[in-house]
């Protein structure tokens, strides 16, 4: 892990990335299938390439290493966070909580996130991509809905929106990764009820 790895597409170094959309889709689908079958630690770029019916060099043209390929495969398959204005903040917040529970409880995320976090601890570029491509966009969209609830007076004006979302993420990740189970609908409802009744406040 001491070697610094470049997360930019290899089009800037060793030729063009995969432009055949069918081949790219097949590589990403194969990556998820292999991860589900053998886990992140035992998955290899060579094995994924062979099962996808492409050369290993083809994969490396778009993804410089397994972590980048894995992140792309998972990111492109996860649902986004709903931000539509329904005129009903409790309903909107419930939609956010359900989407986040689905995200952190997704089998793909549970299979690879611990390993990606471990790799990111010694790879600043991977850590940056993990934050900016997987975590922060969904956190920002979630915050939009909660801030709308603050504006409407459904949540107190001094609600610490980001801390609330981090508390949710921590619980959902603990359930999904440590306890190996999803946060069910009843649990999601309880989180939303607690947030509406007594959210964390900015000190």
Q: What is the pLDDT of residues 62-98, one digit of tens each?
A: 998 888 898 888 887 787 899 999 999 999 999 999 9
CA dist., res. 43 & res. 47, Å (int): 7
What was the pLDDT predicted at 14? 36
List the one residue out of 37, 186, 174 whose CA is nearest residue 113: 174
Give the tokens for residue 28. 């990403």
What was the pLDDT predicted at 5? 43
Cα 26 from chain centroid?
A: 20
Q: How many CB atoms lie within 10 A of CB 132?
A: 10
What was the pLDDT predicted at 16? 45
Low-confidence ranges of the chain (pLDDT < 50): 1-16
Q: pTM here?
A: 0.77
Q: How many CB atoms lie within 10 A of CB 57?
A: 11
What was the pLDDT predicted at 4? 41
Q: Which conformational region is residue 88 in: left (phi greater than 0), alpha (psi within -120 to 50 degrees), or beta?
A: beta
What was the pLDDT predicted at 31? 93
Angle formed by the axes of helices 89-105 and 161-173, to 10°?
A: 40
């Amino acid at each position: 892990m001491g070697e610094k790895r470049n997360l930019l597409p290899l089009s800037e170094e060793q030729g063009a990335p995969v432009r055949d959309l069918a081949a790219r889709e097949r590589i990403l689908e194969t990556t998820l299938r292999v991860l589900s079958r053998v886990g992140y630690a035992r998955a290899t770029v060579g094995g994924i390439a062979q099962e996808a019916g492409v050369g290993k060099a083809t994969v490396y043209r778009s993804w410089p290493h397994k972590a980048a390929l894995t992140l792309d495969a998972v990111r492109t398959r996860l649902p986004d966070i709903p931000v539509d204005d329904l005129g009903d903040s409790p309903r909107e917040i419930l939609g956010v909580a359900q989407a986040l529970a689905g995200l952190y409880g997704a089998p793909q995320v549970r299979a690879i996130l611990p390993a990606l976090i471990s790799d990111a601890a010694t790879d600043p570029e991977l850590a940056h991509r993990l934050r900016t491509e997987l975590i922060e966009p969904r956190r920002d969209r979630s915050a939009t809905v909660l801030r709308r609830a603050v504006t409407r007076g459904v949540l107190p004006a001094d609600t610490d929106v980001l801390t609330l979302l981090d508390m949710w993420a921590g619980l959902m990740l603990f359930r999904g990764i440590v306890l190996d189970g999803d946060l069910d609908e009843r649990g999601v409802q309880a989180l939303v009820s607690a947030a509406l009744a007594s959210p964390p406040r900015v000190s």
